């Protein structure tokens, strides 16, 4: 659910990550500022009509530019100046019509490499374009589907059954530890076999990277295609409810560093609003 109350809870949870070893304070402040700006846009949008296109992409460059401006304003108030965000905002203000194309392509992309051709015109790395493009798209996908959509996996079901995005993480739930993939745009979760790769649908041995002091989360990768997901064991969260996935992914940035050092393909960033 997208609401100001939920926003405040998530922002406070993110703030508690500040000062934690292995977590960049600048990244957390960016995510907090972006979350507030995304929520402000989401609250302005009407809910989707029944049967509406669940893969809708933003068609309002003005709202997206406002989202970027608000993110920048919040960061500047904290004396944080994000050079990549400022350059992205300047380019977006000069060429607002290009934002729709970027957000649409970022939403469908399976990795930053698919945006490499846009890097020269935007003057930013493809990975930054993937993150910012998907962050801009997320408010327009919020509310398109229930948070839970378990269903039998079919060929190609590695993508979100509601909006078509590749997954950003996996969670294990229930006594049997069922695996659910998590959409980074609309927050839908759907069942997927524990032994299969969601990116190439192969059944090659899945490898794991772990930190001994953190048994509840790890990197799970495919030796065939090199794709990976951070996996969170939520069978017994011990918190009175499931943890917040945005907070969990931000708190485990060190696992992404392990994956990078192992030569794995970068994961899709989680930008959903719930």
- SS3 for 151-219 is CCCCCCCCCCCCCCCCCCEEEEECCCCEEEEECCCCCCEEECCCCCCCCCCCCCCEEEECCCCCCCEEE
Mean pLDDT of 83-98: 94
Per-residue pLDDT at 219:
94
Per-residue pLDDT at 49:
63
pLDDT band at 153 (very low <50, low <70, confident <90, very high): very low
pLDDT band at 202 (very low <50, low <70, confident <90, very high): confident
Per-residue pLDDT at 162:
85
Per-residue pLDDT at 55:
56
CA distance 243 to 257: 22
pLDDT above 70: percentage of residues in the chain: 86
Q: Average pLDDT of the chain? A: 86
Per-residue pLDDT at 150:
44
| Helices 126-141, 61-77: crossing angle, 10 deg rounding | 110
What distances in angstroms separate CA 36 from CA 33, 66, 68, 216, 250, one per listed residue?
Answer: 5, 12, 11, 28, 16
Per-residue pLDDT at 156:
47
Mean pLDDT of 249-262: 92
Nearest to 89 by CA among 57, 67, 107, 106: 67
Instruction: Evaluate whether 126 touches 115 at the Cβ level (below 8 Å).
Output: yes
| Statement: residue 154 has pLDDT above 80 | no
**Burial call 137-158: b when 16+ CB within 10 Å, e when fewer:** bbbbbbbbbeeebeeebeeebb
Paired sense of beta strands 206-209 and 189-191, if any: unpaired
Instruction: Evaluate whether 126 touches 116 at the Cβ level (below 8 Å).
Output: yes
Lowest-pLDDT range of 33-42, 135-144, 167-176, 264-273: 135-144
**pLDDT digit string (tens) for 3-58?**
788 888 999 999 999 998 888 999 999 999 999 999 999 888 876 665 555 555 56
| Statement: residue 230 has pLDDT above 60 | yes
Across 139-143, 180-184, 196-200, the highest mean pLDDT is recorded for: 180-184
Query: Strand, coil or helix: what is 148?
Result: strand
Per-residue pLDDT at 146:
46
Query: Strand, coil or helix: what is 242?
Result: coil
Per-residue pLDDT at 27:
93
């Amino acid at each position: 659910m997208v609401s100001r109350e939920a926003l405040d809870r998530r922002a406070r949870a993110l703030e508690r990550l500040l000062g934690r070893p292995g977590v960049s304070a600048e990244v957390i402040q960016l995510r907090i500022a972006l979350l507030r700006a995304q929520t402000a846009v989401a609250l302005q949008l009407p809910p989707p009509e029944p049967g509406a296109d669940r893969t809708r992409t933003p068609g309002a460059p003005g709202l997206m530019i406002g989202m970027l401006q608000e993110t920048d304003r919040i960061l500047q108030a904290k004396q944080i100046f994000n050079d990549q965000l400022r350059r992205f905002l300047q380019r977006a203000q000069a060429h607002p019509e290009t934002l729709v194309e970027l957000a649409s392509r970022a939403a469908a992309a399976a990795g930053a490499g698919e945006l490499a051709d846009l890097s020269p015109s935007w003057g930013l790395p493809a990975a930054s374009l993937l993150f910012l493009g998907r962050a801009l798209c997320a408010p327009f996908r919020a509310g398109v589907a229930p948070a839970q959509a378990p269903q039998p996996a079919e060929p190609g079901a590695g993508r979100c059954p509601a909006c078509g995005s590749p997954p950003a993480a996996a969670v294990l739930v229930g006594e049997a530890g069922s695996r659910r993939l998590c959409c980074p745009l609309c927050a839908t979760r759907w069942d997927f076999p524990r032994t299969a790769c969601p990116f190439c649908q192969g059944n090659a041995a899945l490898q794991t990277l772990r930190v001994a002091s953190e048994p509840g989360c790890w990197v799970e990768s495919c030796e065939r295609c090199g794709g990976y997901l951070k996996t969170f064991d939520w069978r017994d969260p011990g918190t009175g409810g499931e943890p917040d996935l945005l907070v969990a992914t931000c708190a485990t940035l060190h696992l992404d560093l392990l994956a990078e050092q192992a030569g794995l393909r970068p994961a899709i960033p989680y930008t959903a609003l719930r």
